[in-house]
Chains A and B, each alone.
Chain A
Amino acid sequence: MTFELAIILLPFIVAACIPIFYRRLPKKVIGWVVLVVPLSLFLLLTTYIPRIAKNQTFSNNYEWIPSFNINFTTYLDGLSLIFSLLITGVGSLVILYSIFYLSKKESLHHFYCYLLLFMGAMLGVVFSDHLLVLYAFWELTSVSSFLLIAFWHHRKASRAGARKSMTITVSGGIAMLVGFLMLYSMSGTFSIQEIISNIAGISEHALFIPALVLVLLGAFTKSAQFPFHIWLPDAMEAPTPVSAYLHSATMVKAGIYIVARFTPIFGGEMTWFWAVTGVGLLTLFWGSFNAVKQVDLKALLAFSTVSQLGLIMSLLGLGSIAVYLGYSQDSIIYTQAAFAALFHLINHSTFKGALFMMVGIVDHEIGTRDIRRLGGLMPILPFTFTVALIGSLSMAGMPPFNGFLSKEMFFAATLKITQLDVFSIDSLGVVIPVIAWVASIFTFVYCLIIVGKTFFGKIKPDILDKNPHEAPIGMLIPPFILIGLVVGIFVFPNLLGHYILQPAMASIYPTFPSTEELTPHISAWHGLNMELWMTIGVVILGGTLYYFLKRWKPIYRWIPQRFTLNSLYETIISFSENVSENLTKRYMTGNLTHYFSYIYMVFVIVVAGIFFLTDSFEWSLMSNSSVESFELILVFVVIFAAVAILFTTSRIASVLLNGVLGYSVAFFFVIFRAPDLALTQLVVESVTTALFLICFKFLPDLTPERTSKRVKFTNGVISILVGATVTIVGLAVINYEKFETISTYFEDAYNLAGGKNIVNTILGDFRAFDTMLEVVVLFIAGLGVYTIIKLKAKKGDADIEN
């Protein structure tokens, strides 16, 4: 056990404990108990900073299923550290905030359980080196996000938003899984670090580009990149602390993490450069353009998050060119884009987290987030106003806040890239800074909207009636800590650059010899250069656009509702729902006989089909042992019982005949010297008969079935075919000699498993995995029977769906 594994497991363990112990805790305390988890993890992780800053990495391997090459490998380096600090740091603040935000009447134990589940999954994503384990955690973040969005599940919009986000992110996740499997088939390893170290061997492979595209699909859906961004605004139905945590600071950055992590693998490809940069820029523009038209503050922030994620994504794309160019004095300059990406990643979490908390306070105290109904709140919520102002200005890229520094670096990176002439940048590259600049203008406009429409102007009379007041101190501390960071990072950017960003650069560019060179000196004043002029242009044009907002806002109506991505999504979903419903209705008739015939037909077609296809019939009685007369008698008893069941008219008789069948089989086991099987069969037979006896009082009298001759004939044919197939399989098993025998294991059972009864060594040791899962299945079946019988919906219960 090392610390890294404990860090991943702790949130899961606490999450598992909450449902057990929450009743013993007063409702006020539960949030504080949960707060201990991220806080202690954050403090623990900060102790890694000095060691990571010296370019140490921490790797640990736990064998999980070694026969399938699946290991639990934790890998902690600079990149993981940034993300884990964000997850635990913002997590602590959000939980503190939520203690005051959520009413004590909510089902808090669910909320914190899901939140911890998410935290553990997210830490698992950033700490896992093994692709499949990473994938599992990745999907777990989607699941916990689904649960959190649907936290207020009595609201229809919450459920729809939760489903949308789940559908989109999980489909992307599955694409990513396929990509991972392709990577495995190319490289023969699931370890990301090992793939990175023999990248040369796979980059020419035919599957390399498809794998690249599939992995990117996963990253883009998770990070809400165009055209998959549509789930993020709908996810705002979640409680605001969740939006601040999952949908701005952490989960949506998982895609960024994947892109950064895979840059050393795929970074040298033209497809990667253009896909990441292009999609990022498009998202940046589309998000900021759409944010302006929103009237709900949270929706506005959602689109701004989409846009900012696009910015970070495009920076990573720009930075990947350095991987293609390889290490040289000239190429080092292009790594600055990736540096800016990481820098902006942290900055975005600080100011966007604060802004979400600000919106939460406004919603909580005023009762609405609609900017048409807000205004003039500055005198009522002075502290909240401070948060909004600093957060928005930082997002707009204004000094003296950290957003200014990363925005300048972003402009610098887009300008620098145009000087290259690879990947046809010389012809297309000039578009990059233009889009970046235009998007920044819209960013500036919506930042002004957030502050202006909420806090300036005239206050609406209906708000004053409610006598609103400033939020409790607990809701103000977390956003103030964040805006403290916004200012602090502006003042001491190089502290962050040196200790946190520099080691992460080594993870993105492992082939570059010195990380010192990769870390530019960040300075607030870098002369009157092109970047600064661009910012000044943004302010002037953005200010003008905000002033004339009413005049040009009608352009948003140019796109008809029918052609939006959302309506496309709705069409696809309702279409697939209809198709699957029709298809399912056709074969799910509710008639057990039909279901049995499906099962049997599939069985016959697959099994007998394979025998026919491979043409594997050869009739020979040579290797069979002789058949004794008492065995023949048993066979006839079995046949008699089986046929007689068909003609019985009472249930008792058929149950008894069924018993005859079962006990005869037990006799066969005895004859063939399988005492374990015989014992089991006997007991099972007895228990089944008891079950039948109990069930009798619920069953109606046996009535003769009225079915047409054709149906009877078909059923008869199917039965005979099944019997024939089973017989063939039975005969084939005895005479099959294609594979090497595995009975040597069992014969040596005493040495290998310490038991003389080989049946039990198979159950408990050689195939213990099967047994374990069977036990679980058995338990689930028992619970299923129990719930079906005990928890029947009472007649006249109101339908909870609406």
Chain B
Amino acid sequence: MKINDVILRTVVKGVVFIILTLGVYLFFSGHNAPGGGFIGGLVLGSGIVLLYITYDLETVHKKMPFDFKKVAALGVLLATGSAIGSLYFNAPFLSQTDGYFNIPILGEKHLTTVTIFEAGVALTVIGTLVTIILSISEDE
């Protein structure tokens, strides 16, 4: 049986961009406003899951050829790596630092190493979420 899901497809085409943008926004705003790696990752992940639900696996996979297990692994590596990295600067495990930098065009920006850690969290969440949902739905 072929389900007629024209409405869903049309809506998702627009909505997915909003969701993904929101995810990225939440990720970056996390430092000083609500958001952060975990929630950003969740939103991005659910956006990707929405794509998978609307279109079939092959179509999405053709455009996003990621192995999401590896995405999760990369996230774990980033999170633990940024923790270990601080040891090389003679700082205790998991130390984070921040500072203000003058970047051409963008102006003065507040950059922190927490962002790397949070990126790890976000990638793990995306990877794990998609891996779990995909593997359950692919099961025969």
List the interface of chain A (C-beta within 8 A of B). 1, 62-66, 675-676, 679-680, 683-684, 686-687, 690-691, 694-695, 698, 753-757, 759-760, 763-765, 768-769, 771-772, 775-776, 778-779, 781-783, 785-786, 789-790
Given A771-B121, A775-B121, A782-B72, is A755 in contact with B135 using a C-beta cutoff of 8 Å?
A: no
Mark B111-130 against chain A: 1 for CB-CB distance below 8 A, else 0: 01010011011001101110
- Asked if A757 and B69 sit within 8 Å, CB to CB, the answer is no
B20 at interface, CB cutoff 8 A: no
CB-based nearest B residue for A782: B128
When chains A and B are docked, how far (Å) is the Cα of A447 from the Cα of B72? Answer: 58
Chain B nearest CB, measured from A765 CB (Å):
5
When chains A and B are docked, how far (Å) is the Cα of A765 from the Cα of B30? Answer: 13
- Interface majority SS on B: helix, strand, loop or mixed? helix
- Asked if A779 and B128 sit within 8 Å, CB to CB, the answer is yes
- Asked if B79 and A756 sit within 8 Å, CB to CB, the answer is no
- Asked if B94 and A772 sit within 8 Å, CB to CB, the answer is yes
Contacts of A790 in B (CB 8 A): 135
The contact of A778 among B33, B94, B125, by CB within 8 Å, is B125
Contacts of A763 in B (CB 8 A): 36-38, 121
The contact of A765 among B46, B96, B131, by CB within 8 Å, is B96
- Asked if B31 and A755 sit within 8 Å, CB to CB, the answer is yes
Instruction: With a 10 A CB-CB cut-off, give which of B26, B76, B83 has the most chain A CB atoms.
Output: B76
Q: CB within 8 Å of A: which of B28-50? A: 30-39, 42-43, 45-46, 49-50
Chain B nearest CB, measured from A451 CB (Å):
53
- Asked if B133 and A755 sit within 8 Å, CB to CB, the answer is no
Apart from A775-B124, A783-B69, A785-B131, list 11 A-B contacts with CB within 8 A: A679-B34, A686-B46, A691-B136, A753-B114, A754-B98, A764-B114, A775-B79, A776-B76, A778-B124, A781-B128, A782-B69
Contacts of B35 in A (CB 8 A): 676, 679, 757, 760
Chain B nearest CB, measured from A490 CB (Å):
46
Name which of B8-16, B57-65, B85-93 contacts chain A: B85-93
- Asked if A687 and B139 sit within 8 Å, CB to CB, the answer is no
B53 at interface, CB cutoff 8 A: yes
The contact of A782 among B36, B88, B120, B131, by CB within 8 Å, is B131
- Asked if B49 and A690 sit within 8 Å, CB to CB, the answer is yes
- Asked if B49 and A687 sit within 8 Å, CB to CB, the answer is yes
B21 at interface, CB cutoff 8 A: no
Contacts of A690 in B (CB 8 A): 46, 49-50, 53, 133
- Asked if A768 and B39 sit within 8 Å, CB to CB, the answer is no
List the interface of chain B (C-beta within 8 A of A). 26, 30-39, 42-43, 45-46, 49-50, 53, 69, 72-73, 75-76, 79-80, 83, 87-88, 92-94, 96-98, 110, 112, 114, 117-118, 120-121, 124-125, 127-129, 131-133, 135-139
Given A755-B112, A785-B135, is A760 in contact with B31 using a C-beta cutoff of 8 Å?
A: yes
The contact of A764 among B33, B92, B118, by CB within 8 Å, is B118
Chain A nearest CB, measured from B42 CB (Å):
4
- Asked if B137 and A760 sit within 8 Å, CB to CB, the answer is no
- Asked if B72 and A756 sit within 8 Å, CB to CB, the answer is no
Contacts of B131 in A (CB 8 A): 782-783, 785-786
CB-based nearest B residue for A693: B53
The contact of A676 among B39, B87, B133, B135, by CB within 8 Å, is B39
Contacts of A66 in B (CB 8 A): 92
- Asked if B73 and A779 sit within 8 Å, CB to CB, the answer is yes
- Asked if A680 and B128 sit within 8 Å, CB to CB, the answer is no
Sample (20) of A-B pairs whose CB atoms are under 8 Å apart: A1-B88, A687-B129, A695-B136, A753-B98, A754-B110, A760-B35, A760-B36, A765-B96, A768-B83, A772-B79, A772-B94, A775-B75, A778-B128, A782-B69, A782-B129, A782-B132, A783-B131, A786-B69, A786-B131, A786-B135
- Asked if A755 and B136 sit within 8 Å, CB to CB, the answer is no
Chain B nearest CB, measured from A792 CB (Å):
9
When chains A and B are docked, how far (Å) is the Cα of A759 from the Cα of B118? Answer: 13
Q: Which 4 A-B pairs have the closest CB atoms?
A: A782-B128, A754-B98, A756-B32, A675-B34
Contacts of A695 in B (CB 8 A): 136
The contact of B132 among A683, A755, A759, A786, by CB within 8 Å, is A786
Given A694-B137, A778-B125, is A757 in contact with B34 using a C-beta cutoff of 8 Å?
A: yes
When chains A and B are docked, how far (Å) is the Cα of A680 from the Cα of B110? Answer: 25
When chains A and B are docked, how far (Å) is the Cα of A596 from the Cα of B109? Answer: 50
When chains A and B are docked, how far (Å) is the Cα of A779 from the Cα of B76? Answer: 7
When chains A and B are docked, how far (Å) is the Cα of A213 from the Cα of B87? Answer: 37
Chain B nearest CB, measured from A190 CB (Å):
17
Instruction: With a 10 A CB-CB cut-off, give which of B31, B117, B132, B136 has the most chain A CB atoms.
Output: B132
Given A778-B128, A779-B124, is A683 in contact with B42 using a C-beta cutoff of 8 Å?
A: yes
The contact of B36 among A691, A759, A778, A786, by CB within 8 Å, is A759
When chains A and B are docked, how far (Å) is the Cα of A551 from the Cα of B50? Answer: 84
- Asked if B136 and A683 sit within 8 Å, CB to CB, the answer is no
- Asked if B114 and A765 sit within 8 Å, CB to CB, the answer is yes
When chains A and B are docked, how far (Å) is the Cα of A754 from the Cα of B30? Answer: 12
CB-based nearest A residue for B44: A683
When chains A and B are docked, how far (Å) is the Cα of A65 from the Cα of B117? Answer: 18
Contacts of B33 in A (CB 8 A): 756-757
Chain B nearest CB, measured from A142 CB (Å):
25
- Asked if A683 and B49 sit within 8 Å, CB to CB, the answer is no
Contacts of A686 in B (CB 8 A): 46
